[in-house]
Amino acid sequence: MTDEIARSTAVAVEAPLAQPALVVSDLTKRFGRRTAFSQVSFEVARGEVFGFLGPNGAGKTTTVRVLGTLIAPTSGSATVAGIPLSPKNGVEIRRRISVMPESPGLYLRLTVTENLEFFAGLYGLHRAGARIKEALEAVNLADRADDLCGGLSKGLRQRLGLARALLSDPEIMFLDEPTSGLDPVAAREVHDLVNGLRSKGVTIFLTTHRLDEAEKLCDRVAILNTTLRTVGRPAELRAQLFQSALVIRTRAPLSDPPRVFGAVKTVERWHTEEPGSYVLTVADPRVAAPEVTRALVAAGADVLSINEARHSLEDVYLELIDEDVEARQR
């Protein structure tokens, strides 16, 4: 199943995307005998929000560090913001991107504005004052501009890290767990900010453990577990991994479910999850649902609900990661 996804993904990756922001080809990074990630290939289109998911130690942060020119790949190639990844292009690539690590890494003895002034200087920004003001307003921190960073809460520090990433007006933003430690309201503000950046054409490479966040924000996601397990839109991945199904609940258990469901041609398989609850594997839920309803009514069942089974991105993620765990155990 997973190999099929990988193959279909490879076809999708090879499909021409208009001026990709990121092109990663067979990228591998080893630290001595330890492989951080291996043979990773994907493309990210300009203006796309691309989710990068994986368990701890999967190689997500190392991938960001390689693409951010902090560390050199062992093999493979990549193009970042249209520039080939190489030591001599490091400065030019870093000029076009911004990276927000999971821990924002702020100077706690400096004020909010002083932190941003420092980075504005490193990016050689003109009109730094105006840019700083815009960035602070974008993350709702303008009223804390003169506060020392040491006095900010974790959530506010995270927002300042985001403001810093916005400062240089980057083509690609690498955000490593941007909502880590934020309360739901602040997290929603970050989500709004990411959506706003998408509408401005900024490419966002989002590393996250929050699958609901990835599902909500990302156009496509990649799941990494040292090797790339899959790349695609969340809906496509669900469709590739899980067959369509109907979930039926009746007031009382059916007296003879094999007879009821066996008579419906569109039902491929079925099983009971609990008394009065049935999961039917079908090719097309919209075709099968009316037929199943008629069969249930004819059997005298009191139908409480008939729903299409919904698999979350979390189900996709766990399915793929569990396959890896099982493979290792074998």
Partner 1 sequence: MISIDATRVRAVVRKELQDYRRKRAIVVAMIILPLIFLIEPLLVVLLGAPNPPGDPSYRGPIFLLLLIPVITPSTLAAYSVAGEREQGTLEPLLTTPIRKQEFILGKAAAVMIPTLGVSYLVFGSFLLFVRVVANPVIATGIFSERPLLLVLLLFTPLLAGWAIVVGLAVSVRAGEVRVAQQLGMIASFPPLGVVVLMGLGVIAPTVTAAVGFAALLLAIDLVALRAISGMFDRERLVTGTGASRS
Residue carrying the six token digits 């004819």? 298
Number of amino acids touching partner 1 (CB under 8 A): 39
The amino acid occupying position 231 is V
Site for partner 1 contains 318 (CB under 8 A): no
Q: For residues 177 and 164, what is the distance between their CA atoms, to the nearest angstrom?
A: 15
Closest CB to partner 1 among residues 70, 318: 70
Number of H helices, E strands in the chain: 12, 14
Site for partner 1 contains 33 (CB under 8 A): no
* Residue from 1, 75, 84, 108 binding partner 1 (CB under 8 A): 108
Which stretch in 42-50, 63-71, 207-215, 242-250 sits in contact with partner 1 by CB under 8 A?
A: 63-71
Closest CB to partner 1 among residues 106, 282: 106
329 phi, psi to nearest 5 deg: -70, -30
Q: For residues 93 and 85, what is the distance between their CA atoms, to the nearest angstrom?
A: 8
The DSSP element (H or E) to which 41 belongs, if any, is strand 34-44
Please report how close the Cβ of residue 108 comes to partner 1 at its closest, in angstroms.
8
Please report how close the Cβ of residue 43 comes to partner 1 at its closest, in angstroms.
22
Site for partner 1 contains 70 (CB under 8 A): yes
Handedness of CA 64, 67, 72, 78 (dihedral sign): positive
Site for partner 1 contains 65 (CB under 8 A): yes
Which stretch in 40-48, 118-126, 255-263, 272-280 sits in contact with partner 1 by CB under 8 A?
A: 118-126
Please report how close the Cβ of residue 81 comes to partner 1 at its closest, in angstroms.
12
Sequence-separated (6 or more) residues with CB below 8 Å from residue 281: 243, 244, 245, 267, 268, 269, 270
Residues forming the site for partner 1 (CB under 8 A): 31-32, 65, 68-72, 87, 90-92, 94-95, 97-101, 103-110, 114, 117-124, 161, 164, 168
